[in-house]
């Protein structure tokens, strides 16, 4: 009978150990996956830094960067002026040049962080014109 009680005790302890180890592993795995999602993507960090930095470039530096690295998506007429739209990395930039000439200095740059912001801006412009 003593042997049976010892066997039940060790079996109980073993089951308890397995239970605790299982909970620890589940906690560890859950914590690890949470941490892996919290670690940011270096590519995303560079894009965020670029967006932040580009806004603080001087107007001349922004234009140089646009001309060297940007893609002109098109142009449109707004209030009798020609407006040009560029894409640089994940930014969209709308530029109004002096005398509507690409060779001249920019009068104004409007920067949009993503496509959603650009769409909202264009929809507001459309509503105000019609």
Contact predicate 47/89, CB 8 Å? yes
If one compares 28 and 39, the residue with the highest pLDDT of the two is: 39
At 37-70, the pLDDT tens digits run: 444 566 666 667 777 788 888 888 988 999 999 9
Instruction: Based on the fold, state whether residues 24 and 81 are members of the same structural domain.
Output: no
Q: How many C-beta neighbours within 10 Å does residue 3 have?
A: 7
Instruction: Based on the fold, state whether residues 34 and 51 are members of the same structural domain.
Output: no
Cα-Cα-Cα-Cα dihedral of 51, 56, 58, 59, to 10°? 60
| CA–CA gap between residue 49 and residue 55 (Å, rounded) | 10
Instruction: Based on the fold, state whether residues 102 and 72 are members of the same structural domain.
Output: yes
CATH number of the domain that residue 63 is part of: 3.30.67
**Is residue 129 over pLDDT 80?**
no
**Is residue 105 over pLDDT 90?**
no
Instruction: Based on the fold, state whether residues 34 and 76 are members of the same structural domain.
Output: no
- The SS3 of residue 88 is strand
Instruction: Based on the fold, state whether residues 59 and 2 are members of the same structural domain.
Output: no
Instruction: Based on the fold, state whether residues 96 and 69 are members of the same structural domain.
Output: yes
Percent of the chain clearing pLDDT 90 (strictly above):
25
At 64-82, the pLDDT tens digits run: 999 999 999 999 998 899 9
Instruction: Based on the fold, state whether residues 52 and 12 are members of the same structural domain.
Output: no
Structurally, the chain folds into a number of domains equal to 2
For the segment 19-29, the average pLDDT, to the nearest whole number, is 45
Instruction: Based on the fold, state whether residues 33 and 75 are members of the same structural domain.
Output: no
Confidence class for position 84, pLDDT limits 50, 70, 90 = very high
For the segment 103-125, the average pLDDT, to the nearest whole number, is 90
The dihedrals phi and psi of 74, each to the nearest 5 degrees, come to 160, -175
Handedness of CA 103, 106, 112, 117 (dihedral sign): negative
Instruction: Based on the fold, state whether residues 34 and 57 are members of the same structural domain.
Output: no
């Amino acid at each position: 009978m003593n042997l049976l009680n010892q066997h039940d005790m060790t079996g109980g302890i073993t089951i308890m150990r397995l239970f605790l180890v299982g909970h620890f592993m589940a906690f560890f795995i859950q914590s690890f996956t949470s941490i892996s999602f919290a670690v940011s993507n270096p590519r995303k960090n560079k894009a965020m830094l670029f967006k932040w930095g580009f806004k603080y470039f001087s107007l001349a530096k922004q234009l140089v960067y646009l001309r060297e690295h940007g893609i002109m998506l098109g142009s449109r007429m707004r209030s009798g002026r020609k407006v040009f739209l560029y894409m640089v990395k994940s930014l969209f930039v709308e530029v109004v040049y002096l005398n509507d000439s690409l060779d001249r200095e920019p009068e104004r740059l409007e920067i949009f962080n993503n496509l959603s912001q650009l769409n909202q801006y264009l929809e507001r412009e459309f509503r105000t014109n019609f």
